[in-house]
Structure 1
Amino acid sequence: MKDIPGYIDITPGDFKEIYQLASRHALKRAAESVKAKDVMTRKVFSVKRSTPVEDVADLLALNGISGAPVIDDDGKVAGIISEKDFLTRLGIKDTGTVMGMIARCLKNKGCMIVSIKTGKAEDIMSSPAITVSEDITIQEIARIFTEKNINRVPVTDSNGHLAGIVSRADIVRYVPAQYKE
């Protein structure tokens, strides 16, 4: 308010309402104008179709990520492989958590991991991958996340090659960053 010359006579309630309306307007404007290329992570951990699932699991665990794009020999996105794909392949649909898997392994007196140990990324990936272009808005990406129940989407360039990835966290991180001065 110090930046506004003069005096504005409003109540605290008026100020709160103006602030909330302005904030909603700014968020809406940002969501309609900010593109995937503005928020995407450019350093993407990806795997090839032929990558052993053991190596995929290592990559995800070592980098603290829950999924990665699967790339074909032409550098195009062939699918996505995530924790959910591992759990689904193990037959764990209702208890899609690590503890659910442990409980199930203990009940079976064996471990279901053995059934996929020799597999490749292409054997368990979700395909075809849902991808977006660099120019799609974050508002549209958020809609895709909700409609498709996904947490990340690969971003492709005009040739269909992997250019980056947008996660829910990327969108959430973007909003507060815009209000820093």
Structure 2
Amino acid sequence: MTDRHSDKISFCVTISDDDIYEAMKSIDGYLDITSKDFKEVYQVAYKHALNRVTKSVEIKEVMTKDVVTVIVDTPIIEVSDKLSEHSISGMPVVDDSGKPVGVISEKDLLSRMGADHTLTFMSVVTQCLKHKGCEVMKIANLTAKDIMTTPPICISENAPMHQAVSVFMSKKVNRIPVTSKDGKLVGIITRGDILRSPLFQINV
């Protein structure tokens, strides 16, 4: 399973007459429709249409349903293997009931190795070569629960899409576990999912 691929709903934002009308009402003064005026109307209408659609589309319609996960007792070597195997930078950590209890990412691994936020993979390689030893050994005996960020920031599958956008912007996270009414993990949504979504294809 991977959090990079899923069956997603196909749709796009179509700017309606109402969107144009609402945009024109929000612009002060008389409109003599020049190209500059139309561009302004279009930009405001776009925002109106996008806001309307993101409020009507639920997370479950765009989320990735097949999610790569680990449990709290998963050894770090297995965590690393999964991240590498699926070419992802992070994933949820779940308990025995399938509820997310944390999120683990490459940044968490680097942080526990004593790295600051600027350290990259190649920086780790360089340090290992310079010191004739590997920084990774500092965390070799740890498990997911020792490294994960907790509590996880989750979102309901029935929440409108604009709430996910708001969380990405305010919490500075790259992925959000999606939960059902009983709190179990049912999917995940990433910044990339939103940016790649057909939602952002605008038709006039």
From 143, 166, 169, the counterpart of 2:189: 166
The worse-fitting range, judged by mean Cα deviation, of 64-73 and 100-109 is: 100-109
Partners of 1:104 and 1:33 in 2: CA distance: 50
- Alignment match, 1:149: 172
Partners of 2:199 and 2:119 in 1: CA distance: 31
* Counterpart mapping for 1:58-69 below 5 A: 58-69=81-92
Partners of 1:30 and 1:172 in 2: CA distance: 15
Task: Please report how far the alpha carbon of residue 176 of structure 1 lies from its aligned counterpart in structure 2 after TM superposition.
Answer: 4.7
- Alignment match, 1:116: 139
Residue 99 of structure 2 corresponds to residue 72 of structure 1: no
Contact kept, 8 Å, 1:27 with 1:175, in 2: the verdict is no
Task: Please report how far the alpha carbon of residue 177 of structure 1 lies from its aligned counterpart in structure 2 after TM superposition.
Answer: 5.2
Structure 2: segments with no counterpart, 5+ residues: 1-16, 18-31
Contact kept, 8 Å, 1:84 with 1:96, in 2: the verdict is no
Contact kept, 8 Å, 1:152 with 1:168, in 2: the verdict is yes
Contact kept, 8 Å, 2:157 with 2:180, in 1: the verdict is yes
Q: Give structure 1 regions of 4+ aligned residues with deviation exceeding 4 angstroms.
A: 175-178
Output the amino acid matched with 2:165. A
The worse-fitting range, judged by mean Cα deviation, of 73-82 and 112-121 is: 112-121
- Alignment match, 1:88: 111
The worse-fitting range, judged by mean Cα deviation, of 67-76 and 129-138 is: 129-138
* 1:91 match: secondary structure: coil
Output the amino acid matched with 2:94. I
The worse-fitting range, judged by mean Cα deviation, of 77-86 and 30-39 is: 30-39
Task: Please report how far the alpha carbon of residue 54 of structure 1 lies from its aligned counterpart in structure 2 after TM superposition.
Answer: 1.0
- Alignment match, 1:23: 46
* 2:39 match: secondary structure: helix
Contact kept, 8 Å, 2:98 with 2:185, in 1: the verdict is yes
Output the amino acid matched with 1:77. P
Q: Kindly tell me: are residues 180 and 162 of structure 1, through their superposed partners in 2, closer, same or farther at Cα, counting changes over 3 Å?
A: farther
From 57, 72, 80, the counterpart of 1:49: 72
Partners of 1:32 and 1:101 in 2: CA distance: 43
Output the amino acid matched with 2:194. I
- Alignment match, 1:39: 62
Task: Please report how far the alpha carbon of residue 146 of structure 1 lies from its aligned counterpart in structure 2 after TM superposition.
Answer: 2.4
Partners of 1:155 and 1:50 in 2: CA distance: 22
* 1:122 match: secondary structure: helix
Q: What TM-score, normalized to structure 2? A: 0.77
Output the amino acid matched with 2:186. A
Deviations 1:18-53 (A, max 9, x none): 322221211121232222112110010111112121
